[in-house]
Structure 1
Amino acid sequence: MTDKKPFIPPAVPVLYSFRRCPYAMRARLAIAIAGVEVELREIELRHKPEAMLALSPKGTVPVLQLENGSVIDESLDIMLWALHKNDPAQWLGSGVEMKDDMQLIHRNDLDFKPDLDRYKYADRYPEFSRFHYRQQGERFLAELEQRLQSNHHVTAPHFALADAAILPFVRQFAAVDAEWFESSPYPEVRQWLNRFLNSRLLAVSMKKYPPWRPGDPCLFFGGAGFS
């Protein structure tokens, strides 16, 4: 029988990420704003590291391994983990606000994301046209447009949890047909997205790193606070 290797705790939490994945993106946004330091391991989707698969066999990013060996492999849970450690920008609201945040994020994840996938990869779903799938996604955009008319953010009076959790997906939706999006009847959504695209927070979170290989020096992300 082969002896089981002893667990060696990481010095800081280890985050497996993929730069363009919207789930991984929102996790990095929260870690950056919270100023929580992690070791960042950028992966290639075609060559997922064995170390990541050992932690989370489902093979999707983000995956966060904590110092005690426990694993968080849901992006929203990683966001909440970081923000419960430190929330300098007050992304977490009161009980009522958090309930609204979570409901809106879940609609994004359960309804809008499937519509986005079908719109983006319409050739894989020949049952309907790309136009049909875009119309399905527009139902969520219309709700966001209405919310943004009040205070230019979707739940709180300022950029907060729901904005950060949803914008990476709206970013992808807008990029499928940028010409259509620029003339679409969602001016508040466009402004909201443009503010995000031009933000320092996104620039920090989207910095490009080489794919991680076992034995590479540690590459740290977050830490020291975001200001």
Structure 2
Amino acid sequence: MRPILYSFRRCPYAMRARLAILSAGIEVELREILLRDKPQEMLAASPKGTVPVLIVGDQVIDESRDIMDWALAQNDPEGLLDMPPQAQDWIAAVEGPFKSALDRYKYATRYAGADPMAERDTAAQILQRIEAQLQNTPWLYGDQPSFADLATITFVRQYANVDRAWFDVQDWPGVRGWLERFLSSDRFAAIMVKSPKWETLAIPVVFP
């Protein structure tokens, strides 16, 4: 039996889980859901109701970072886990203060008193931390992507897409080039193939 992955195509958390599964070369049954119509099978496995959710036998993994760790523990042919210690600090910055600012920038009406422009600037300051190194290397820590790239770049994509005209004129050629290399890559194309909404009687969709 293949593992089952409940996913939503545009969710940055689900995207990074699919990136790790793709790199590991693990076949899963992909169940694409609608967030407004979550299947009872997913909610029974993970009552918190967020994607991604990976079911491996009797094991349920419902945090994207844990799914990435699980996939690459099975197989890491690209050596994604080979990264310097400071990579964990970058991942923590994106998962924490960057994502918090991103949410208040993109969804300001959901947060009482949020100033979207101030939050945009907070996130921009975090991106500036990697600008210099991305002017010297195509990926965060060298010529090839690492776990740190794949664990964070989907959130940078979401940030850029809030106001792409603004993002594209900022003085961060390193960051813009990094994002563009990802968006034009075969790996991005592979994880963004459109799948029909999962139905109980549908023919299983296999990913990758």
Worse-superposed segment, 161-170 or 211-220: 211-220
Contact 1:122 1:129 in 2 (8 A): yes
Q: Which amino acid aligns with 2:63?
A: E
Q: Which amino acid aligns with 1:145?
A: E
Corresponding residue for residue 153 of structure 2: 167
CA distance in 1, matches of 2:162, 2:193: 22
Corresponding residue for residue 59 of structure 2: 70
Deviation at 1:111, TM superposition (A): 1.0
1:79 matches 2:43: no
Describe the SS at the equivalent of 1:150. coil
Corresponding residue for residue 45 of structure 2: 55
Question: Which of 112, 118, 130 is matched with 2:104 structurally?
Answer: 118
Corresponding residue for residue 31 of structure 2: 41
Corresponding residue for residue 9 of structure 2: 19
Structure 1, gaps ≥5 residues long? 1-10, 223-227
Deviation at 1:83, TM superposition (A): 1.1
Q: Which amino acid aligns with 2:20?
A: A
Instruction: Report the identity percentage.
Output: 49
Following superposition of structure 1 onto structure 2, how do residues 171-182 of structure 1 map, counting pairs within 5 Å? 171-182=157-168
Corresponding residue for residue 7 of structure 1: none
Aligned residues: 208
CA distance in 2, matches of 1:18, 1:102: 26
CA distance in 1, matches of 2:114, 2:202: 46
Deviation at 1:164, TM superposition (A): 0.7
Q: Which amino acid aligns with 2:89?
A: Q
Q: CA offsets, 1:133-152, max 9 Å, x none?
A: 11111121111213323322
Corresponding residue for residue 4 of structure 1: none
Following superposition of structure 1 onto structure 2, how do residues 1-227 of structure 1 map, counting pairs within 5 Å? 11-67=1-57, 69-93=58-82, 97=84, 99-125=85-111, 127-222=113-208
Describe the SS at the equivalent of 2:78. coil
CA distance in 1, matches of 2:161, 2:114: 20
Deviation at 1:33, TM superposition (A): 1.3
Worse-superposed segment, 74-83 or 189-198: 74-83
Q: Which amino acid aligns with 1:100?
A: Q
Contact 1:122 1:133 in 2 (8 A): no
* CA RMSD across the alignment: 1.4
TM-score calculated relative to the size of structure 1: 0.87
TM-score calculated relative to the size of structure 2: 0.95
| Cα separation, partners in 2 of 1:81 and 1:183, compared to 1, 3 Å | same
Describe the SS at the equivalent of 1:217. coil
Q: Please say which structure displays the higher CA radius of gyration.
A: 1
Structure 2, gaps ≥5 residues long? none
Deviation at 1:113, TM superposition (A): 0.6
Contact 2:8 2:51 in 1 (8 A): yes
Worse-superposed segment, 199-208 or 129-138: 129-138
Contact 2:104 2:114 in 1 (8 A): no
Q: Which amino acid aligns with 1:62?
A: P
Contact 1:142 1:186 in 2 (8 A): yes
